[in-house]
Amino acid sequence: MWRVLCAALCAAAIHAAPARAAEPANGQLAATLFDRLVTLNPDGTDQRTVWKVPGEGDSIANPVWSPDGNRIAFNYWDPAHDTRIAVYDLRTGAVQVVTDHPGPDADGDHTEDFDPGWTPDGRVAFRRAVYDSGSQHHTLMTVGADGTGLQPLPVDDLDGFSVSWSPLGRVLYADFDDNLHIASLDGADDEILPFTDVPLPAAFSPDGEWLLFAHQGLGAVSLDGDEVDFTSPEAPADDFQPAWSPDGHSIVYRHTQLEKGRLIEQLEIHDIAANTDHKVILGSYGSPTWQPCIAGVTVSCRSQPIACRQPGDPPGWDPQPLCLPPQPQPQPVPRPSFQFPPLHVDHVTTRLHRRAGYVALRARCSLPCTVTAHLRVRLHKARRARDGRAVARSGRTLALKLKLPRIRRHRRIASIRVIGTATALLQTRRIVATVRP
């Protein structure tokens, strides 16, 4: 079934391509880590804290990226106001609380805002719960990312459970009869789904056709009722808080398990096509969400490394190494140019001593050198010459005896040549001399 899901998502992406200017790619991850909002890359690198709650005991939850990948909406709780919606701006690094209401009164009456999401045009959508004299009422609302233009949505009959927001501008909610509805934000369309056993909240796929949920593992169901299982951890391990990748091919989620009585928590990614899972990072990261990255729109698609801290600067939210002063670069030491004196070989003389069977070679070098030479003898009517043994001597003025090769008496010598080389200080000179027979 997971093959069916992968094929369906890929087909939907192909058919939707002409209608959209740019398909989002997979960017960085965002998650909560205790009282901090952090970002990191899908390979687990470059984790950094982008915001930390200002008050003791404050908390955050449920971050979700905006459609353009430049903002994160999340729940922010503090004792003076209860739960509100705040927005982190990736471009400025600022956090703004975009919904407001008083905290609990003496009777315990209070208002809270939950389930942040985004509309296709970049407004923040959320569920407002009003608790008054033991009763409660839930309303769906939207507000601008700057906190202006608060508006209720014409969707009623909410039972108080979590709601989920579709990237296509629809909302998933449950009524008081436990029916699941998908409604347009303008209230014009409200469809009851043919199933009721999907736990909320459920995450819409990027094409808006599948619902991702966690229940004893991770699974998804299409709006037509087709189901698929992604992970099935054995108890007491658990997979929960899943989120789709923007391209719809992967799922990031929170995984916990017990090992030798110790709780292990980590983020993992499930590859739908390969049906494999791998660890992203170890730690108590909550509600991971995957940034849509749009070329030319999203300001940064990767979590940036933590900068060093200058001496005297206050410490940041993350451990920072101190910036070291620039070290002077060593200048290369110019090497003096040096050339060896040239090697010359002169006063080369030869003399044949036929009866003694050798040729005397004399030569003089301008530098102490080593001369290696041998004889090359050619006979009359012979097809090839004969070489004598090589002889080497060192010095400036050299005298060498080069032994003639064996020649029968009746054979006549046509020519004798001395062939050799003189070497000194990485220089070589060739020696060629003719010997009179």
In the chain, where the domains are located: 2-293, 345-435
Confidence of residue 172 (pLDDT cuts 50, 70, 90): very high
pTM value?
0.72
* Architecture of domain 2-293 in this structure: 6 Propeller (2.120)
pLDDT at 15 over 50: no
Highest mean pLDDT among 2-6, 8-12, 38-42: 38-42
- 356 vs 153 pLDDT, higher one: 153
User: pLDDT digits over 339-361, tens only?
Assistant: 888 999 988 999 988 888 889 99
User: pLDDT digits over 373-382, tens only?
Assistant: 998 888 887 7
Q: What CATH code would you report for 345-435?
A: 2.60.40.2150
* C-beta separation of 9 from 249 below 8 A: yes
* C-beta separation of 41 from 301 below 8 A: no
pLDDT, mean of residues 26-31:
98
Residues 397 and 367: their CA atoms lie apart, in Å, by 10
pLDDT at 411 over 80: no
Q: Residue holding tokens 């609990």?
A: 104
Looking at the DSSP bridge assignments, the partners of residue 309 are 322
Residues 85 and 288: their CA atoms lie apart, in Å, by 17
User: pLDDT digits over 196-247, tens only?
Assistant: 889 999 999 999 999 999 988 999 999 999 999 999 998 889 999 999 999 9
* C-beta separation of 176 from 138 below 8 A: no
Would you list the DSSP string of 36-101? EEEEE-TTS---EEEEE-SSTT-EEEEEEE-TTSSEEEEEEEETTTEEEEEEEETTT--EEE----
Look over the chain and give the mean of its residue pLDDT values, rounded to a whole number: 89
pLDDT, residue 405, reads 82
pLDDT, residue 384, reads 66
pLDDT, residue 406, reads 78
* C-beta separation of 301 from 293 below 8 A: yes
User: pLDDT digits over 285-343, tens only?
Assistant: 999 999 999 999 999 999 988 888 888 788 888 888 878 788 788 888 887 777 888 99
Confidence of residue 407 (pLDDT cuts 50, 70, 90): confident
Confidence of residue 107 (pLDDT cuts 50, 70, 90): confident
pLDDT, mean of residues 262-267:
95
